A and B are shown apart, each in its own frame.
Chain A
Amino acid sequence: MRERLRTDVAIVGGGIAACAAAVELRKAGLGVIILEKGRCGSGASGVNFGGVRQQGRDLRELPLSARARPLWDGLNALLGEDVEFEATGHLKLARSEQDMAELEAYRVAALGCGLDLTMLGANAVRAELPWLGDKVVGASLSPTDGQANPRVVGPAFARLAAKLGVDIREFTPVLSASRSDTGFSIESETLSVSSRFLINTAGAGGGLLASIFGEPVPITPQSPNMLVTEPLPYFISRSIGVCGGDVYIRQVRRGNAIFGGGSGWHDPELGFSRPSNEQSLGGMRRTLQLVPQLTNAQVIRTWSGTDGRMPDNIPVIGPSSTTPNLFHAFGFSGHGFQLSPAIGLILAELVTRGETPSPIDPFSIKRFANWQGSTTGISDHTDH
């Protein structure tokens, strides 16, 4: 027997942005159903590095990132759970004078977008972190950035949403979706959902849903590659990235150092990603150049996950170009974690008011309407 449900808003994909949107929509009195193919928060929301970072972002993302940042300070109170957010600051390291010039240029541009960064020379950065390797010639510090535990944020948001009356259906992959005069019809194997609004927060699967509505996008799966050491005495007091983005490091209070870079491998048939052992070994070398002290620390675990990557490395956010009352937010290209609570607010605003104060025009799906570029050939690196 197929179960038939009718609601105001159907959301496909149950990551942090989806659950955050659902929470807001419920507060506005709307009925919400989330259809999640696995478990809420187990996709890109849950398996990322855990960086809560504004520094290094595409300048067009900075207003959204700035909107998200104060939300992180309130997440524990909102969710009733410690999501381990700490404003440790984010240090972006330079390994050459060219890198330093790049950081300085970014600092000036970011200042125009309201993000205040501090340049540190070779001596200053060593005064801050005396254990840094010889390769480091300087850095740029974003003192308000930080880190959090990605594994717990999504599930906590989902629980809050459920508590507020959101109907969450896990292990419910969507098979088809369509729109008629009366609204949307979304079908899973066992479920038919009719809704007035549809939100596409399907991550790497977001492109598929968009193409159903006649707006295909050049999205590719992206799998990070991360390693975790055994717990060590706490010393990596900042979240660390580099120019070029090929390595990123942080240490959790528990003591485990987490470092990553490069890509794992994605199995499209099985629909999951695994770390690449060669990349893990390569990541060790790049990490040791920055943190020689990690030599001989024991790696106890590696992990990967799947996000959707857009060719221009910024997400698709905003109304559909073909279908009224359909809104997209996917393709965060490996750096959606920090943005996600704000994306939830923006999606809710789009549904309830038809507009948002956040400048989302650069993220419109329209930019891919006549896309001629390739989906590959872009850098393998993501800033973290």
Chain B
Amino acid sequence: MTIKDKSVVVIGAGPAGLRAVEALSKAGLRPILIDEAPLPGGQIYRQPPVGARRDPKSLYGFEATKASDLHGLIVRLGDQIDYRPETLVWGIEGHRLDILSNGQFSQISFDALILSTGAMDRVIPFPGWTLPGAFTLGAAQIALKSQGVAIGRRVALVGAGPLLPLVAYQYWKAGATLCAVLDVTPFSPKVYNLLRLMRKPGTFAKGLWYTLRLALAGHPIQSGVRAIRAEGADRVEALVWIDVSGKERRVEVDAIGASFGLKSEAQLADLAGCRFVFDAKSRQWQPERTPEGRSTVPGIYLAGDGSGIGGADVAELTGEMAALSLIEDLGQPVEKARIQDLAKQLDTYAPFRTALEAAYPFPHHLIDQIDDSVMICRCEGMTAGQLRQAVSQRGATEMNRLKALTRIGMGRCQGRVCGPAAAEVLAREAKSTIEAVGRLRCNPPVKPIPVREVF
């Protein structure tokens, strides 16, 4: 059996997965690229549906060239890869994937697998967050990029990371009415970390540009917001917040985009048996990844935000890196110089990332303001009060026990949305740490699958 006969699968067609299949096909492999979306690009470079194409410049701004290049990869690689869009991998057992595509169940066996499964918004519940009209920042961006629509006519955006100025800028450019742009992290760490942020002048300049351009347009980002809540009877009617000086402010809106950083989508790595480590800075568990993209399970490789939040550019580099490690492990020589070059490039992002994390510290005060009536698990209708009671009266000190006792994380999202917030609430109530309360164990399916007659 030559390397060409090996079954190599890449899951996720974002920047990491696309660069991975490019490197794999260059080495003579014909990887299978599986993606849930109908078109490649991942969340960051998500494309409008066929028939609704728009100018990349208007969709991706500064990143238009990068986006177009990645989108074009699928066409350029043509038959050199086996591209399977609109396909869900819902389980992994050993070296076999369980697939749902076009309503049909099937399986794929693999010799080697790259997981580039991306990230999603981190949700911190606040009063009113489940009202219709409340979205995450990522969802607000997807609505714009994919469908060319804003989430509402009068929009407020709230965040705790570099996505906030970007989405706000994109909404402003698209002509949406921005009623408030609120950053729940303080302004000062951004100043302190200015010099370190300058390490990546290009990226920094873009963030600065979005911020300044917004300010010039009359939409300054308000930092240091202490608390927020959405108001409305049947849907979002207003956003109320406590500003940096402690004053309550209110603006009438019909939509809110609010989320607070990113969390890795690592369910498949969990099912594959990868060991997880706790990342204290981003306060989340992630699959352990070597700088070369190897997981703790032989034959399984990790790339992109699914195993460490680094952003799109880092994802491209880690995607290629994981592919080269995979090729090397299959016994085919790889260009050492290229690996060193990738490592060097990745090194330049590390201090920037550190500075970014320092500039946008975790908004602990938003967790502290979650009162007992706030819904945490919207699938199962569990409030913070019910979780706290399970901790104080029923002895839950760990996430899976909390789940068993309350149903938190047992609904459609399986804890993807509510898990991190529930861990924060649990850790505070149990006077423990996010690391000590652990993480929800994953079981298949990673996303819902229909009951069908299969075989």
State the A residues within 8 Å of B (CB).
Answer: 39, 42, 46, 81, 151-152, 155-156, 159, 228-230, 254, 265, 274-277, 280-282, 284-285, 287-288, 294-304
Q: Do B445 and A281 touch across chains, with their CB atoms under 8 A apart?
A: no
Instruction: Tell me the dominant secondary structure on chain B's binding face.
Output: loop
- B451: which of A46, A156, A297, A301 is its contact (CB, 8 Å)? A297
Contact A298 B448 (CB under 8 A): yes
Are A302 and B445 touching (Cβ within 8 A)?
yes
- The answer to whether B452 touches A284 (Cβ under 8 A) is yes
* Contact A285 to B445, CB < 8 A, known contacts A155-B395, A159-B394, A300-B414: no
Q: Which of B93, B401, B453 lies in contact with A277, CB distance below 8 A?
A: B93
Chain A residues whose C-beta falls within 8 Å of the C-beta of B455 in the assembled complex: 281-282, 285
Residue of A46, A159, A276, A298 contacting most chain B CB atoms (<10 Å): A298
Which 6 pairs of residues, A with B, have the shortest CB-CB distance? Answer: A298-B448, A151-B404, A281-B454, A277-B91, A277-B98, A296-B450
A265 partner residues in chain B, CB cutoff 8 A: 93
Q: Does B411 belong to the interface (CB within 8 Å)?
A: yes
Which residues of chain B in 135-177 are interfacial with respect to chain A, using CB atoms and an 8 Å cutoff? none
Contact of A302 among B380, B444, B450 (CB under 8 A): B444
Which chain A residues lie closer than 8 Å to B90 at the CB level?
277
10 contacts between A and B (CB under 8 A): A39-B398, A42-B404, A152-B404, A156-B394, A228-B410, A281-B105, A281-B455, A288-B451, A295-B453, A299-B451
Could you tell me the distance between the alpha carbons of A280 and B91 in the complex, rounded to whole angstroms?
A: 11
The docked-state distance in angstroms from the alpha carbon of A321 to that of B27 is 66
Q: Is the CB of A287 within 8 A of B451?
A: yes
Q: Which residues of chain B are near A276, meaning CB under 8 Å? A: 93
Main secondary structure of the interface of A (DSSP, over half): mixed
Chain A residue at minimal CB-CB distance from B273 = A270
A298 touches B453 (CB 8 A): no
The closest CB in chain B to the CB of A281 belongs to B454
Name the B residues within 8 Å of A294 (CB-CB). Answer: 451
Q: B residues 407-442 with Cβ under 8 Å of A?
A: 407, 410-412, 414
Contact flag A295-B451 (CB < 8 Å), given A155-B404, A280-B444, A301-B443: yes
Give Cα A287–Cα B90 distance, bound, in whole angstroms. 20
Binding site for A on B (CB under 8 A): 90-91, 93, 98, 105, 380, 394-395, 398, 401, 404-405, 407, 410-412, 414, 443-445, 448-455
Beyond A282-B455, A288-B453, whether A46 also contacts B404 by CB under 8 A is: yes
Q: Which residues of B contact A288 (CB under 8 A)?
A: 451-453
Known: A230-B448, A295-B453, A300-B448. 5 other contacts (CB 8 A): A230-B411, A282-B455, A287-B451, A299-B449, A302-B445
B443: chain A residues at CB < 8 Å are: 274-275, 301-304
Which B-chain residue is minimally distant from A286 (CB atoms)?
B453
Q: How far is the CB of A301 from chain B (nearest CB, A)?
A: 6
Q: Is the CB of A297 within 8 A of B450?
A: yes
- Pair A285/B453 contact, Cβ less than 8 Å: yes
Pick from A276, A282, A284 the residue with the most CB of B within 10 Å: A284
Give the CA-CA distance A295 to B105 in the complex, in Å: 14
Cα(A268)–Cα(B285), bound, Å:
25
A75, chain B: closest CB distance, angstroms: 15
Q: How far is the CA of A294 from the CA of B314 in the complex (A)?
A: 44
CB of A131, distance to nearest CB on chain B (Å): 14
Nearest CB in chain B: distance from A269 CB, A: 11
